[in-house]
Chain A
């Protein structure tokens, strides 16, 4: 227990997480290496990305040992970005269709 009032894990946990990150990165590299295409490729890329991001935030950034009040205060605001994703997906699609109609004859 330190002055920040939180639990501190052993070095072994960090080494395990580090190896896990290596393996996950290697898997996402293999997705490219074996030229996987289409939905399989995209879902695997997203899956490995989310797993890596979750492990980094949870263990390396000590997020899993923080109090729920801080966890929610940090996780909820960035979810607003999903609204921007939706809006710009509509906009990007509209621009694409417009370009097809006027730029490629």
Chain B
């Protein structure tokens, strides 16, 4: 694979490429500016979610009341059999699948296949909506059936509600924002706005969406499974 910019070292020569990227008389990152801005935004978001999860760790380490059992709390009973954590598992699979369809949309966009790009972006947005709906159902169950509040709950440590609503709520807002973002970009792709400008906007949108999926991986491991 040959590099697009012959003046810089190729990927096989990455350490000297690193030096020339930072020292040559040119821009450091030879990628579309929107993509770099999205990466920088995502680093900021990494710190926000990182701080949430670390705060959760500090709270979880310091409680003396028992922590509510998330496995039983999010269990579902289907046909007399109780599956632990089933709702969360379904939500995880939906988000992973939506990430897969988004990756395909990016791929088709760079091949110039406008119709398939819009189709896969629409699929991604629909799965995002399903995810948010399931989360709304999950919140409703916890609030109305289990009596979880941000200031306390009948199951144990009173900090549980605050952590749960804060972390999953902030993630849910990211998903909702992502659905709107994808829908807007897909509409513009459909209208042909990017035929001359190029389709890097689809990759930028994809970066955001994969990040939302990435955050869920950490929430799933630390909040639901731990």
Residue positions of A touching B, CB distance < 8 A: 1-11, 14-15, 17-18, 21-22, 25, 28-29, 31-33, 42, 45-46, 48-49, 52-53, 56-57, 59-62, 66-70, 72-74, 77-78, 81, 84-85, 88-89, 91-93, 95-96, 99-100, 103-104
Chain B interface size, as a band, is 35 or more
Min CB gap A64→B, angstroms: 10
Which residue of chain B has the shortest Cβ distance to A47 in the bound complex?
A: B221
How many pairs, one residue from A and one from B, have CB atoms within 8 Å of each other in the complex? 170
A99 engages B62 (CB within 8 Å): yes
Q: A14-B100, A88-B58 are in contact. Are A4 and B18 (CB under 8 A)?
A: no
Asked if B178 lies at the interface with its beta carbon under 8 angstroms from chain A, I say: no
Q: Name B's A-contacting residues (CB within 8 A).
A: 1, 3-5, 11, 14-15, 17-18, 21-22, 28-32, 35-36, 39, 43, 46-47, 50-51, 54-55, 57-64, 71, 84-85, 89, 92-93, 96-97, 99-100, 102-104, 106-107, 110-111, 198-200, 203, 206-207, 210-211, 213-214, 217-218, 220-222, 225-226
Besides A5-B4, A59-B103, A72-B18, 11 more A-B contacts (Cβ < 8 Å) are A4-B198, A8-B107, A18-B97, A22-B93, A22-B96, A29-B85, A49-B221, A53-B218, A81-B50, A88-B57, A89-B57
Chain A residues touching B, majority SS: helix
Closest to A65 in B: B11
Verify B54–A96 contact, CB threshold 8 A: no
> Cα distance A33–B86 when bound, in Å?
10
Would A78 and B43 count as touching, CB distance under 8 A?
Answer: yes
Selected contact of B92 from candidates A14, A25, A31, CB within 8 Å: A25
